[in-house]
Structure 1
Amino acid sequence: MFKDTRVLGVAAFALIGLFIGIAKPFVGLPAQGHFIMATVIAALGFWIFRPGGLPFSAGCSLILAGGLIFGLKYDVVASGFVSSAVWVLIPALYFGFILQKTGLGKRIAYLVLKSFKPSWLSMAFSWFIIGIALSALTPSITVRIAIVMPIALSVVEACKQEYRSKGSAFIALLAWAMCLFPGTGWLTGSLSGPIILGFLPPELKPMATFEAWFQILALPWLLITVIFTVLVYFIMKPKEAIGIPRDTFEKEYADLGPIRREEIIAIIVLVGSLVMFSTERIHHIPTAATALAALFLLIMFKLITVPEISSGINWDVVMFFGVAISLQTIFVASQVSGWIEPILRPSLLSLASNPLIFLLVATFGIMLIRFIDVPWGFSTAALTITVLIPIYTQFGIHPLVSSMAYLIGINFVLLNYQQPFILISEGIMQNRGWAPVHVTLAGVAYIIAAVIALLVSMPYWRMIGVIQ
């Protein structure tokens, strides 16, 4: 029945796309725009429901083929693949592969866990530190989850917490959240950075440097992380003490053995890359160039071997992100953006005179859309992000401030189907970490944290001059 539901979902999206392509119901939208919208909607059905476990590449191929069939040029439909965002993404995914292959990610996690006396509070703090450390070394959330969630399940078992209980959910959901939230505060800390950079119109891209991203977005994402952690602590923390001996994690760390040559090389290359990313204003070497140079070093020192070039990262994810980034150019070239912008612009510009109201409305609007636009809301971002140009030029709201609404939407979850990283984590833990109600409670905590972060960040953004 579940598989049938997936097929029905794809069929429903395909029928909607077919109706748009044939009936052309949108006044003022050219025929090519209707055809492109129809193609993207049909592809969304494959991305959302993935019948038979189809990869994202199926929907991606449909968009690329449809764009070419309906008259778009190759450099338009494949524009995302020449974006600097993709050439940051590919090396960064290999960074995550190296964290797993060498065991460096696990070593970092157990090093932090063994450094504190076991308690529920120290557990929350440990996940926070682990999240920041792993986010600094790789933007791949999938890799961080692959490293952290098995450890989280081991902690659940060591603490003798019943599977899917509040105590189990406290441990697992905090571990999961620290894989997502902290790294959003800098350009290379999560995949959201390269994606938003890729979506931004050409005239706004130069404003999304590593330094600007950190200056504008590090504070709100630190606030979201801390407030979320505090709320989950009070909502889900077990009443009884943690009940595990202090040497539990020391033994796990000792079992890893002495640090190896591969780990030393990996940490030097990855930390060196982070330093180069954060000092781009001084040396003027683009982030993509630094990432590619780091990949060269990892290959040269044979941490990545010839077979691992193809198997070391998920190329389906690369294709998905390349096509997702291309959507912005595709929508512009097919005049879909030009058609929708006059519809959105009056309402958004009327709100932009009050930046707080504008961000709150935009944020909750994207959250609402996420119930339908499941793959992180990327198609919504691609379709609407050109509106940031008049919002910046007329109201002086920096595009990275406006992007906060998209970033909150990307990390949003209230029901588990909305967040692919929830589903990945459930698979890794074999559905033993939390129950659906805990995901919803965590989602409510996230919404509260996001709203508070926006309220607190407003005076800070005014102070640093990114809101006029």
Structure 2
Amino acid sequence: MLKDRKVLGVLVFVIIGLIIALFKPFAGLQPMGHLMLATVIIALGMWVFRPGNLPFLAGGSVILCGGLAILFAFQNYLINPATQKAYTSADLYSTIANGFVSSAVWTLIPALYFGFVLQKTGLGKRVAYMVLKSFTPSWASMALSWLIIGVALSALTPSITVRIAIVIPIAMGIVEACKLEYRSKGAAFVTLLAWGMCVFPGTGWLTGSLSGPIMQGFLPPELKPLATFDAWFQILALPWFVVTILYAVLAFLIAKPKQPIGIPVDTFKEEYKKLGSMTRDEIITLVVLLGSLVLFATERIHGIPTPATALGALFILIATGIIKGPEINTGINWDVVMFFGVTVGLSALFRFAQIAGWFEPLIRPTILNLAHSPLAFMIIFTLGLFVIRFIDVPWGFTTAALTAVVLIPVFNDFHIHPLVASMAYLAAINFFLLGYQQPWILMAEGMTGNKGWAPSHITLFGLIYTVSVFIAILVSLPYWRAIGVIQ
């Protein structure tokens, strides 16, 4: 029955796409734009429902093949404003492949391998148990431990998938050691708090989560130079630090169990002892990852771009045998790489197919009216993106690709830095009130065997996250004004 619903969901998106392609209902949007929009909607249906665990590449192929066919069909109508001549075939190919040659993807691929070696060597588990054993077990120390673990693992790998793969099994071990009832308030507190610390802290710096290079890829070409590692950390570290702290504190105040934690004092110390001494592979991995983080943070001094640092670190991991030859193919999920490559390229594709030019005047007046007040702009823009996340399920990337063009007038006319505005997109990427909105929740549910939390707990912790985001925006506005990134 579930498979039938997924197939039905895809069919609904296909029908909507066909209606748009055949009847061209949007006034002012060119036929090419209608066809391209229809193609993206069909792919979006595949990404949302994924019947039979359909790979992301299936939807990506629809966009790549369909988009290329559409651009070639309208080639004679496309004029390059720089040369006043028709675009060449090379122009069309480069537009379709734009996402795969962006610096965002070449930061992403090494980053995924960082997560792979963190898990393979056992370094991630060692870091987690090193923190847990440092505190006397209690609900308060549990919240503090997950916070520290989340920040530490975010510094070592931007892969949320890997962080969840490391942390959630440990969290379930704690649930069972405390003899907490599955899907109870206590189990939800332990697991959803651990889950949140895997997701939120790293958003505050460019390479702390995959959202960094992805959002960097969505920015229009004019704004990309502003999204450096230094600028990202300076502008976004504070709000995401506040989000992370508030999520942990509010979870402790609202969602912790009334009974004391029932776990022996030496539990985590014994687990840490079982890991033994650090191995050669762990030491090399730690040095490489920490060295990469230092180079990321000091890019302005030495001038080595972030993708170059990430690729250099990957080379060292391969050269030292941490990553073996066969693991190049199996160490990371290449389907995810394809998904990000396609989605990052959507911004350029929408501009080329004149969708962005058609869409911008529709939302520009509203956005620019809000931009007179940075507070109103950030609150309402963030809230609007939260609402869109109920239908734009794969992290809201389609919406980000379509609307990122408005960041140009917001920056030029109202001097709101694009990374300030990106806070709204990032908050929407991490947003959840229902389980289907967050692929990371679905992943963690699979790892816990649906024993960690009930749907009501997801909604409660989603509300905690939502409140934390808006408080973080309020706290950050005076800071943003003081450092000159908003008026």
The answer to whether the superposition gives a TM-score over 0.5 is: yes
Three-state SS of the structure 1 residue aligned to 2:158 is coil
Within a 5 Å distance, the mapping from 1:306-455 to structure 2 comes to: 306-455=325-474
Shift of 1:388: 0.0
The answer to which of 96-105 and 70-79 deviates more is 70-79
Q: Does 1:283 align with 2:302?
A: yes
Match of 1:37 in 2: 37
- After superposing on structure 2, the runs of 4+ consecutive aligned residues of structure 1 that deviate more than 6 Å are none
Instruction: Name the aligned partner's letter for residue 119 of structure 1.
Output: S
In the alignment, the residues of structure 2 paired with residue 364 and residue 66 of structure 1 have an alpha-carbon distance, to the nearest angstrom, of 33
Instruction: Give the match for residue 95 of structure 1.
Output: 114
The CA RMSD measured in Å over matched residues stands at: 0.6
Give, in whole Å, the separation in 2 of the partners of 1:95 and 1:325. 21
Query: Is the counterpart of residue 53 in structure 1 residue 56 in structure 2?
Result: no
Q: Which residue of 1 aligns with 2:200?
A: 181
User: Secondary structure of 2:71's partner?
Assistant: coil
Deviation at 1:389, TM superposition (A): 0.2
Partners in 2 of 1:21 and 1:317 — Cα distance? Answer: 28
Distance 1:195 1:109 in 2: 27
Does structure 1 residue 146 correspond to structure 2 residue 132?
no
One-letter amino acid of the structure 2 residue matched with residue 309 of structure 1 = I
Corresponding residue of 2:11? 11
In structure 2, the residue matched to 1:70 is: 70
Percent of residue pairs identical: 66
After superposition, give the CA deviation of every residue in 1:165-208 in whole Å (9 maximum; x if it has no partner): 11110000010000010000000000000000000011100100
2:99 maps to a residue whose letter is G
Deviation at 1:229, TM superposition (A): 1.0
* Counterpart Cα distance in 1 of 2:28 and 2:141: 58
Give me the whole-angstrom Cα distance separating, in 2, the residues matched to 1:281 and 1:7.
50
For 2:80, the equivalent position in structure 1 comes to none
Q: Any idea what the Cα deviations from partners look like across 1:192-248, whole Å, max 9, x if unmatched? A: 000000000111001001111001000000101111111111222111111212210
Whether 1:202 and 2:221 are equivalent positions in the alignment is: yes
Tell me how far 1:283 sits from its aligned partner: 0.2
Tell me if 1:166 matches 2:164: no
Return the offset for 1:281. 0.4
- Post-superposition offset of 1:77: 1.1
Q: Does 1:245 align with 2:252?
A: no
Give the match's secondary structure for 1:70. helix
Tell me which amino acid in the other structure corresponds to 2:158: P
CA deviations over 1:79-121 (Å, ceiling 9, x no partner): 0000000000000000000011000000000000001111100
CA shift for structure 1 position 78? 1.1
Residue ranges of structure 2 left out of the alignment (5+ in a row): 73-91
Tell which deviates more after alignment, 156-165 or 397-406: 156-165
- TM-score normalized with structure 2 length: 0.96
Q: Does 1:122 align with 2:141?
A: yes
Counterpart residue number, 2:78 = none
Provide the rounded CA distance (Å) in 1 between the counterparts of 2:9 and 2:381.
27
Q: Which residue of 1 aligns with 2:240?
A: 221
CA distance in 2, matches of 1:28, 1:241: 63
Q: Per the alignment, in what secondary structure is the counterpart of residue 116 of structure 1?
A: coil
1:372, distance to aligned residue in structure 2 (A): 0.3
Residue 267 of structure 1, aligned match among 273, 279, 286: 286
> Which residue identity lines up with residue 474 of structure 2 in the other structure?
L
Separation of aligned partners in 2, 1:281 and 1:385: 26
The one of 284, 292, 301 equivalent to 2:320 is 301
Distance 2:324 2:191 in 1: 33
1:425 alignment partner, SS class: helix
Deviations 1:273-307 (A, max 9, x none): 00000000000100000000000000000100110
Q: Which amino acid aligns with 1:91?
A: P
- State the aligned residue count: 468
